[in-house]
Amino acid sequence: MTKLNPDDLPAVPDLHDAALAARLQALLDDKTKPLGSLGRLEALAQRLGLILGTEAPALREPQLVVFAADHGLAAHGVSAYPSDVTWQMVENFLAGGAAVSVLARQHALALTVVDCGVRHAFAPRPGLVDAKVAWGTADALQQPAMTDAQCAQALRHGIDLVRRLPGNALLLGEMGIGNTSAAALLMSRLTGLDIADCTGAGTGLDAAGVQRKIDVLRRVLARHAQATAPLQALAALGGLEIAAMTGAVLQAAAERRVIVVDGFITTAAVLVAARLRPHVLQRCVFAHRSGERGHALLLAHLKAEPLLDLGLRLGEGSGAALAWPLLVSACAILREMASFGAAGVARASAPAGAGA
């Protein structure tokens, strides 16, 4: 894939299966509990059954992948932190000291860090994948963030990575100083929402800093006004890690893996993937609603209902890791919880006046 061509990307067919959905609902309704009493956990269980194509879903060898890259736009002060924090945090992930490292260990999630375009030369080691396309993106105020060839290469790296990974669940994470700007730009361009509604504090900008960030991003959008198709927008506005995540999402969806979406930046990658292959969204479980300003609007645009709302805005895949036990529990309920008949438990009495 030397140039951007949607036809080169993985096919993602419709998962709609009314018969399986009905069987899953019947199984849930027959569990030893009042009807619907497990609330949204029941909807999650059904979703996981539909993704995995079975009435007894089991999640195996879950892979939490953190995609990392730097952004040329960071030179314009769109982040409260310097770009060096990107590579420093990658080292922290690999040393096991970051929030996502702790949560991955707690929940037995295999953690992989992918260097998609960090401005640093890392020593090879276990857990680190070298998929560097460039030493960060270009300054999108001056030129496209990526060339078409760079964007295509990043997409391919994401696709190839998922092909190599075991398991049937992919949890998305990311790291990149400046990447809330890239996510906001993609959100604005692909949804039509004003950039001010898509832009938040990121790593902790004050109100004046957020306004400066909005002004910069508005100029970037004007500079690339012709980049309206999903792949054009991704190359002009996005990050190398967002492009790689987009490829990973497409491949995971094609393989019918469960895709656990973390926060704002990972949701922006899913937005791009869904514009290319709409049925991607059938495979996604949205972990949480972050504190980043645009995330709630983006989730609403995708008609996504996140599992958690904890005010998180860390990224890294931390929200995906925190939500993971809910997915495990939902599958266990379907597989292991007894039916009324098997347990010898009486069902609820019919309401007075009901029946023949």
Q: What is the pLDDT of residue 6?
A: 84
Find all residues with CB under 8 Å of 342, minimum gap 6, and list them. Answer: none
| 3 state DSSP class of 129 | strand
In this structure, how many other beta carbons lie within 10 angstroms of the beta carbon of residue 108? Answer: 10
Smallest Cα–Cα separation from 173: which of 163, 158, 160? 158
Map out the domains of the chain with their CATH numbers.
Answer: 63-332 (3.40.50.10210)
Q: Cα(66)–Cα(115) distance, rounded to whole angstroms?
A: 9
| Tens of pLDDT, residues 205-263 | 999 999 999 999 999 999 999 999 999 999 999 999 999 999 999 999 999 999 999 99
AA identity, residue 58: A
The 3-state DSSP class for residue 87 equals: helix
Q: Are 134 and 240 in contact (CB under 8 A)?
A: yes
Which residue ranges of the chain lie beneath pLDDT 70?
A: 1-2, 350-356
Residue 209 tokens read as: 């800093």
CA distance 84 to 298: 29
β-bridge partners, 339? 31
What letter would DSSP give residue 3?
S
Which residues are annotated as catalytic?
316
Contact call for residues 56 and 50 (beta carbons, < 8 A)? no
Structure tokens at 228: 């309206």
Element (H, E) at 69: strand 63-69
pLDDT the model gives residue 348? 84
Gap between the Cα atoms of 188 and 271, Å rounded? 11
pLDDT at residue 44, as a whole number: 98
Asked if 112 and 129 touch (Cβ cutoff 8 Å), the reply is yes
Tokens of 88: 């420093």
The reported pLDDT for the residue numbered 356 is 40
Is there a contact between 232 and 143 (Cβ–Cβ < 8 Å)?
no
Paired tokens of 274? 């869904």
State which amino acid sits at residue 228: T
